[in-house]
Structure 1
């Protein structure tokens, strides 16, 4: 299948293309798999299973479903200089690195020039979908906060970098055709600045100077957008001074970035604009600050599904009621699906997988938790894209054109690790809600707490703080096995809704915090509550409140270890002893559950 093209300016043609893709999902999936096999059946990896044959029947019968560890040796050989033919007939241009925060450590996958063409198609087709629901987007600009990370070279000489850095540095992004729906406030030089602090300052400066042109704001993930809002809280006075003087700060030393801002954005002093921004940012409460600083903004474009859902209250607080839009579902290894109803509430967001992006298969799980960690082999039944059933949960398995591998995808029939629930169909193409990642769990004994369970429990518990004027801004966790019995530890970073954002020195009500601990436990599943109630194999849950800025420091640490600012997601379960130590050093309060959670011995879901 030739890589499809999409002209984002041709709205009717783009919508017809989406209709064709979703109506013919089954046929397109067959064509995709056949092309992958015809290209790559002779590669070393597939040759071992197919013996040169390229039928889809043989592929599904002989090629196993695998995890990253199965294909990692091939990636290591490629990084060390062996020819790309060991896994792909197409020349490998680079190795894409995952963020490392979902699976515990960064992973790499090879990429070809064709994959960049496919990503360009994906980005272009998002634009007409939004234009269908939001009018007038061609009348202004987008303030998107986009970041790159310095790349490294492998022993083979191939560059290794995050997937978004790869795209932003490519000719596809730099030479993207003008379209009236996607003009950015930031020049490319600000986006391509590898110093994230300089880049963030300059992109905010551009957005503030052009505030009256901004019709939408956003970042890739909700966490990155909120990090930028926090940066604005700390630097608005300096940003205003730059605008007032018409001169950029001396510490902005990236040459191309500085030149682009000075010549094309900050060309003259604007004291009136500086006064206006100072008046808004100088208010005691920052509720609705996004809407107040960018008054024409129609929505906030960030991913708020999965682990990003916990940021929804804070986004609503800062956004002042602006719609939160999650447009796409993708990963380091492959771009997957789009949201065809972008104005749906975040809790209702579903993604339609585009059948031309890769070959999709699914492993059904009994529920959204119990079987999510069962090891898959080629003997397990694998369901094709068009054969999934509404209401069922599945783990995504992907085969890509280049045999890419990474955090969640591999060469062929690779377990992504994402658990999805089928919510409906768009024509013949199923729509999925992202539930959680398979390999992100807390466990002390026979209990297993996944990411969605933890989010649900924390969401219920944090409501106890809201009447007292506190917001939970970040959280993470780990299973403390050093205590006897082991217990769950939650790190919480809090801020007040008015006044100082710093919780240092502000007394926390011990009784309320202990009730928060108990509320989390009461919301966890029956197996956990059995372990606490009957078996006593899990100790009382603990909440450790950390100093303001602790999770910024955690992000800085992860970035220093290889994560990307653009792709970073706060790990909901921490496995690194160094990261745990970093948070432990800034704990300002420790609280334990003083109640044993209720457990019903007749509940069949609580059995061993």
Structure 2
């Protein structure tokens, strides 16, 4: 047996109170003796072996405290001499010193270190392991995407995480090995930084990696979409080809989905627009000439293979009906569930998904971000409103900042962090992570509520993002950015003698794609004359707001077409007084009331809509460059 680099003897002494760990360490006979449970060394197992997968999950969730301690020890030991940690720890390794000396930080605090690496300095600024790429977050900083460090090892950690989803789904859904998944997956724009490192979204990173391309075929990895269609940089061609492949293989499809609910619904809308052309391709056995990506044409032609009038007629019959209610089940009759993220801001799409689904379960399997992959949904068939995620303790070291219920900004909470094993049922917390990739005590910005426990592992419900008021797709607009954008736009109407008295907003997802709606109450300066609004000026106000929003919004709006044109609805005088009256009637304090910058209540939106005197839309997509 090879010697273990993690010193199992020391580990057994340190954690001798945990009989399960000691037993497993003693029983291992191949490889490193502690490989099955100690963090930092990810177990290698057959993802189709449900028993092995569940055994790993049981180990991870039973030994949470020990694993978390080991994770932190390993991260500090590896990185104690990086520039960042050396400045706080002076090369020492104790957990107590780490928690006392290393500050809890936001992105702005670590941004200079990451920018230095992007500009060519050594990874050792923050990580002993080489930084191999930078993952762009949908959260923004100064109007630009945040960049999170990543290493080669982190890709293996993500693959391990994805594999853990397999035994969980197999526990609840039978026969997943008898067909394929129609998952609509896409890559997004990436750039090369001055250092030569690529900066790209986390899923683009994974789809372009060898871990994805060379993945072993198992029940979760057999897709109707060939890799060439997923990796196509033209999103329109990619989606068309993936839908065409999914329709041709409709009898093999057992599950459908996309990463986000918004992306899946955009795909359905695309299908509504292109089903006649797709049927024509199937009937003729020929791919449309506008599909010019050679890799896509070649691989899709192999799947299309021959004319199929019978299939084209069937799809035409289903798609030509007046209502598309239940269309997913009609087009893909063997489908067992729809897999999309429907928690957080994606919950707004649940009613529309249910309309199209034909009663299929909506499954959110995992909780992850650019910073780290966090947790798994151990009851995937639960209703979306009941979804909780169990944090996987060897993914990172987790801490939590206590948050008062409904408190939007935890900056005001001067409290100490709580360890993963010490969180309390029913309490709200902001997630703080220390990762293997160079983030130390980093505030993710997610507000979670503890809903229960799986073995010794806490389960959390995602409540909302800190400070985010608007979101349609991967965009996250906070109150400060919205205020800056509105402030720039209102100068245009002030030049005409109008004043912006008050404003609020909401994310309108009643159409696909959804779009931002701003309610403005305007008045004439120094007079009570009736408002006469210039449509061109108001449309320019819409465009100014859009140009002032961050890079992620502008990309979604211009490049991805995943957000529709921003709308300003001008309301008549006294509307916001009526809104205040409504909020007070619902329990708000008159003395402490302030206008909410985002409205979620359907009743409140109806109050505002009933007083609209003018509606205006942005006529041009905003400018956008990757960085």
**For residues 462-516 of structure 1, what are the alpha-carbon distances to aligned partners after superposition, in whole Å with 9 as ceiling and x for unaligned?**
xxxxxxxxxxxxxx99995645432213363645xxxxx999xxxxxxxxxxxxx
How does the TM-score come out when normalised to structure 1?
0.77
Check the 8 A contact 1:148/1:564 in 2, yes or no.
Answer: no
In structure 1, distance between residues paired with 2:462 and 2:553:
29
Check the 8 A contact 1:65/1:414 in 2, yes or no.
Answer: yes
Judged with a 3 Å threshold, the aligned counterparts in structure 2 of structure 1 residues 102 and 305 are, in CA distance, closer, same or farther, namely farther
Q: CA deviation at 1:175?
A: 0.3
In structure 1, distance between residues paired with 2:554 and 2:50:
42
Structure 2 counterpart of 1:346: 384
Q: Please state if 1:298 is matched with 2:281.
A: no
Give matches, 1:251-266, under 5 Å: 251-263=290-302, 265-266=303-304
Judged with a 3 Å threshold, the aligned counterparts in structure 2 of structure 1 residues 564 and 167 are, in CA distance, closer, same or farther, namely farther
Structure 1 counterpart of 2:92: 53
What 5-or-longer segments of structure 2 have no aligned partner?
1-39, 471-475, 491-498, 520-534, 594-627
In structure 2, distance between residues paired with 1:564 and 1:56:
45
Residue from 205, 223, 247 that aligns with 2:286: 247
Q: Please state if 1:287 is matched with 2:325.
A: yes
Q: Secondary structure at the match of 1:412?
A: coil
In structure 2, distance between residues paired with 1:453 and 1:254:
38
Structure 2 counterpart of 1:425: 453
Judged with a 3 Å threshold, the aligned counterparts in structure 2 of structure 1 residues 331 and 181 are, in CA distance, closer, same or farther, namely closer
Check the 8 A contact 2:326/2:358 in 1, yes or no.
Answer: yes
Q: CA deviation at 1:241?
A: 0.7
In structure 2, distance between residues paired with 1:428 and 1:565:
46
Judged with a 3 Å threshold, the aligned counterparts in structure 2 of structure 1 residues 428 and 493 are, in CA distance, closer, same or farther, namely closer
Residue from 274, 278, 289 that aligns with 1:235: 274
Residue from 121, 126, 145 that aligns with 2:160: 121
**For residues 226-282 of structure 1, what are the alpha-carbon distances to aligned partners after superposition, in whole Å with 9 as ceiling and x for unaligned?**
01000001111111111111111111111111111112x111111110111011111
In structure 1, distance between residues paired with 2:253 and 2:430:
39
Q: Secondary structure at the match of 2:429?
A: strand
Greater CA radius of gyration, 1 or 2? 2
Q: Please state if 1:40 is matched with 2:79.
A: yes
In structure 2, distance between residues paired with 1:567 and 1:7:
37
In structure 2, distance between residues paired with 1:102 and 1:183:
37
In structure 1, distance between residues paired with 2:162 and 2:268:
25
| Greater relative contact order (CA < 8 Å, ≥ 6 in sequence) | 1
Structure 2 counterpart of 1:414: 442
In structure 2, distance between residues paired with 1:89 and 1:149:
29
Structure 2 counterpart of 1:15: 54
Judged with a 3 Å threshold, the aligned counterparts in structure 2 of structure 1 residues 324 and 102 are, in CA distance, closer, same or farther, namely farther
Judged with a 3 Å threshold, the aligned counterparts in structure 2 of structure 1 residues 104 and 316 are, in CA distance, closer, same or farther, namely farther
In structure 1, distance between residues paired with 2:206 and 2:113:
24
Check the 8 A contact 1:477/1:491 in 2, yes or no.
Answer: no
In structure 1, distance between residues paired with 2:203 and 2:299:
22
Check the 8 A contact 2:143/2:551 in 1, yes or no.
Answer: no
What 5-or-longer segments of structure 1 have no aligned partner?
404-410, 443-450, 455-475, 496-500, 504-516, 518-543, 571-578
Check the 8 A contact 1:99/1:563 in 2, yes or no.
Answer: no
**For residues 82-136 of structure 1, what are the alpha-carbon distances to aligned partners after superposition, in whole Å with 9 as ceiling and x for unaligned?**
0111111111111111124799641101211100000000111101101100111
Structure 2 counterpart of 1:311: 349
Residue from 161, 172, 178 that aligns with 1:139: 178
Q: CA deviation at 1:402?
A: 1.4
Residue from 400, 408, 416 that aligns with 2:435: 400
Q: Please state if 1:5 is matched with 2:44.
A: yes
Structure 2 counterpart of 1:462: none
Structure 1 counterpart of 2:28: none
Structure 2 counterpart of 1:488: 504
Q: Secondary structure at the match of 2:356?
A: helix
Structure 2 counterpart of 1:278: 316
Structure 2 counterpart of 1:211: 250
Check the 8 A contact 1:477/1:490 in 2, yes or no.
Answer: no
Q: CA deviation at 1:562?
A: 4.9
Residue from 384, 395, 420 that aligns with 1:385: 420
Structure 2 counterpart of 1:369: 407
Structure 2 counterpart of 1:529: none
Q: CA deviation at 1:8?
A: 1.5
Judged with a 3 Å threshold, the aligned counterparts in structure 2 of structure 1 residues 565 and 170 are, in CA distance, closer, same or farther, namely farther
Deviates more, 1:367-376 or 1:194-203: 367-376
Judged with a 3 Å threshold, the aligned counterparts in structure 2 of structure 1 residues 212 and 565 are, in CA distance, closer, same or farther, namely farther
In structure 2, distance between residues paired with 1:383 and 1:567:
39
**For residues 4-55 of structure 1, what are the alpha-carbon distances to aligned partners after superposition, in whole Å with 9 as ceiling and x for unaligned?**
3342200011111111100001100000000000000000000000000011
